[in-house]
Amino acid sequence: MIGFDTTDLLRAVQETIGQITPDEGVLRAMGVSGAEIFREEAKHNAASHAKTWTIHRNIIMKHLPEDSDGAQRQAYLVTVRKGGYGGGDAFYWRFVEEGHKFVPKNTKIGKRGNKIGWAAHRKAAELEYGTASAPAYPFMRPAYDSRKSDAVNAMSLTLKQQLIRNATR
């Protein structure tokens, strides 16, 4: 029987792993690779109910420097660019994601010139996820739920590639 003493090898491997500290560039590359998976899936989901393609065009990924901590943590957000009413941005994306109730116009104009009754607004605010008249067409949450493992795999692969690239320098 042949025996091997692997304690020195194990100690050397543990020391090497202890010396590897990913820098900010490696973490940012990992974050981008994971966030791209979610962004592309959200775009794919939004395209299935697209009428004007405004939401699809405005799904973005952005770096959050206030939530990032250098070489310890890098944060990214996949969201929809939402500007003011009338612009090219998709300010209404949450109405599509969660559904909404149509608020009818009030035919009576009050003393203050209000055309929409407050009772209708209160009823609309009580609803959370869609109605028969405006159902929810979620695209962000299903993207996250369906592609979590793919994003983790992409981030692991990016880490491996970055460590190999940095080791050959």
Name the residue type at position 114. Answer: N
| Chain length of the chain | 169
Tokens 């981030």 sit on residue: 155
pLDDT at 114: 58
In this model, does residue 166 exceed pLDDT 80?
A: no
pLDDT at 88: 73
First CA to last CA across the chain, in angstroms? 41
d(CA 153, CA 159): 10
In this model, does residue 33 exceed pLDDT 90?
A: yes
Domain locations along the chain: 22-99+136-167
Residue 151 C-alpha from the chain's centroid: 11
pLDDT tens per residue, range 130-159: 455 677 888 999 999 999 899 999 998 998
d(CA 131, CA 142): 19
